[in-house]
Structure 1
C-alpha cells in the first residue's frame, strides 16, 4: 500500500506540474485582468488622472445607456447570423469532404476549405473591403454583369452587418469543418450499413445517425462560435467603424470607443465586465439546452 500510495502521489504531482504553466498563464492573462477590470469599473478614471470612487454608479448609468442597449441588439443580430451560418457551412463542408472517396481529392478539398483560416482577420477584412466596394468592387462588377445592379454593401444599413459577418464566417468555418470532419470519421460505418439495410435514405441517415453521433462536437462548435461572435471587433474596425448609423456597432466596439477614444476607462470596464457575465450566462443556457435536446 505504501508504494502504491507514493506512486499515486508522484503521478498526481507530475500532473499538476504539467498543467501548472497553462494555469499560471490563465491566471496572469485572464483571471487577474477580469478582477482588475471589475475594480476599475467602480471608479471614474481617464487612465491618467486620479481615480474617483463611484461605486455602482457606472452600472446604474449603463442600465440607462441607450447606446449600450443598441450595441447589445447589434451584437445579438451578428451572433445569430454568425453562429447559424458557421454551423451549417462547416457541417455541410465536412459531410461533403467526408463523402469523397479519393484520399488525394479529399486532402485537396480539406486544404482549400481550411486555407482562409490561415489569414488574419485584419487582412481578410481589408481584402473583403475591396471586394465590397460600392464603386469599383469585384462583387458589384459581377452583379452588374448578370443584371442585378450595384449594391451599397458596407454603406447600406441593411447589408453592412451581413457583410461584416461574412468576413468572420469566411475565416473560421474551415477550422470548424476540420473539427466536424474528425467527428464524422469516428462514427462507426456499421451504423450506416445497418440503416441502409433497413431502407433508410441519405437524409434519414444524416438526421438519425450522423447528427446524434456528433452531438458533443456540435455543442463545442456552437458554444465557441457564440463566444467568438460576442468578441467580434477586428473586421468591424477595419470595414465600417461601427457604421453606417451605428448598425454595426457591436458592444466590443463600443467598449473600444469608450476606452481609447473617449478615455472613459471606468465606464468601459463596467460594460466589459457586464458583457463577460452576459457571455457566461448565454453560454451556460446554450449548453444546457443543447444537452437537453
Structure 2
C-alpha cells in the first residue's frame, strides 16, 4: 500500500499542470494589449527615424540641391569628403571639445551626486535646482550665457574685474571660445548625469561602508576603494552618453559663436547644417552625416571596450 501511495504521489508530481480554460485567452489578450501599446511608438520610430535615415543614406550617393531631382553620384561625395580640410577641422574641434567636456562632466556630476546623497530635508530642493537647466531650452540658455560672457558689459567679467582679475573675451577669442561652450553645455547637462550617479550611489550596499569604517578607512579611502569601483558601470554609461551628445554639439556653437572666431568652434553638425541648408548640397551633407555617424559608433565602441578591459 505504501508503494502504491508513493507511486501515485510521484505520478502526481510528474504530471503537468492542466491549463485552465481562461489561461490561453488571457495570454492572448495580454499579447494583443502589448502589441497595441507598443505599436504607436514603433510606427512613429519607423516613420520619423528609420525611414529618414534610410532616405538620407540614399541621398549620400547622389547630387541633390533640392531645386532639381537628385542624380546618381556614386562615391563622389565620400571621395570629396576625404579631401575636405574644413570637415577635418570640425572633427579636430569636436575632439578637443570632448577632451574638455567629458572628463569635466564626469567629475562635476559625480561630485554633486556625492554631495547630494544624503537624507537631509533640503536635499530634494537642491536636486531640483541642479536639474532645472536640463529642461531649459538650449537656444534660450545659450542666448543668456552669451550676454553674461560678453567681454564689455557681461556680469561674469564684471565680477572678475571686481576681484582684480582681467576678464577674457570669452566668445570673441579663439583661445577661449571653445572653453565658453564647454562651460555652458556643462552647466546645462550636469543635472541629468548627476541623477544617474545619484541612483548608482543609492544602490551601493551600506554594509560595505560600515565594514570600511570598522577597518578605520576614512572618507577618501572609502570613496577610492568602494564608491568608485561600484560606480564603474555607471561611469561607463555616463561617458558613453556624454560622448554621443558631445559629437552632436550644435545649438550652443550656433547661438554663441556661429562657428567662430576663425572656425575655432565649427563643429561637424554645424558644418552639415551649413552644407545642407545654406549651400543646398543635400547629397554631400548626407555623406558628412553618415561619416559622423560612423565616427560616433567607432568612438563609442572603443570607449565600451576600454571600460570592459578595465573591469576584467
TM value normalised by structure 2: 0.88
Which aligned pairs between 1:48-197 and structure 2 lie closer than 5 A? 48-98=67-117, 100-102=118-120, 104-197=121-214
Q: Does 1:264 align with 2:286?
A: no
Look up the match of 1:245: 262
Larger Rg: 2
Q: Residue 53 of structure 2 corresponds to which residue in structure 1?
A: 34
Residue 41 of structure 1 and its aligned partner are, at CA, apart by 0.6
Note if contact 1:180-1:217 (Cα within 8 Å) is conserved in structure 2: yes
| Structure 1 residue aligned with 2:40 | 21
Matched, 1:213 2:235: no
3-state secondary structure, aligned to 2:171: helix
> What is the CA–CA distance in structure 2 between the aligned matches of 1:211 and 1:16, rounded to whole Å?
41
Aligned residue pair count: 291
Q: Distance in 2 between matches of 1:79 and 1:289?
A: 17
Contact 1:156 1:244 in 2 (8 A): yes
Mapped to 2, the partners of 1:33 and 1:236 lie a distance apart of 25
Structure 1, residues 153-208: CA drift from partner, whole Å, max 9, x if none? Answer: 10111100110121111111011111111111111111100011112221121121
Structure 2 SS opposite 1:50: coil
Residue 75 of structure 1 deviates from its aligned partner by 0.9
CA RMSD of aligned residues (A): 1.8
Cα distance in 2 for partners of 1:285, 1:22 equals: 31
Structure 1 CA distance for aligned equivalents of residues 29 and 75 of structure 2: 48
How far does residue 270 in structure 1 lie from its aligned partner after superposition? Answer: 0.3
1:16 to partner: Cα distance: 4.2
Q: Secondary structure at the match of 1:155?
A: coil
How far apart in 1 are the matches of 2:293 and 2:36? Answer: 30
Q: Is the 8 A contact 1:34 1:273 kept in 2?
A: no
Shift of 1:291: 2.1
- Separation in 2 of the partners of 1:209 and 1:10? 47
Give me the whole-angstrom Cα distance separating, in 2, the residues matched to 1:94 and 1:289: 24
CA deviations on 1:44-77 (whole Å, 9 max, x unpaired) are 1111112121100000100010001000010111
Deviation at residue 3 of structure 1 after TM alignment: 3.7
Structure 2 regions of 5+ residues with no counterpart?
Answer: 1-15
| 1:153 aligned counterpart, secondary structure | coil
1:215-244 residue CA offsets vs partner (Å, 9 max, x unmatched): 222222111111110111111111100000
Structure 1-normalised TM-score? 0.94
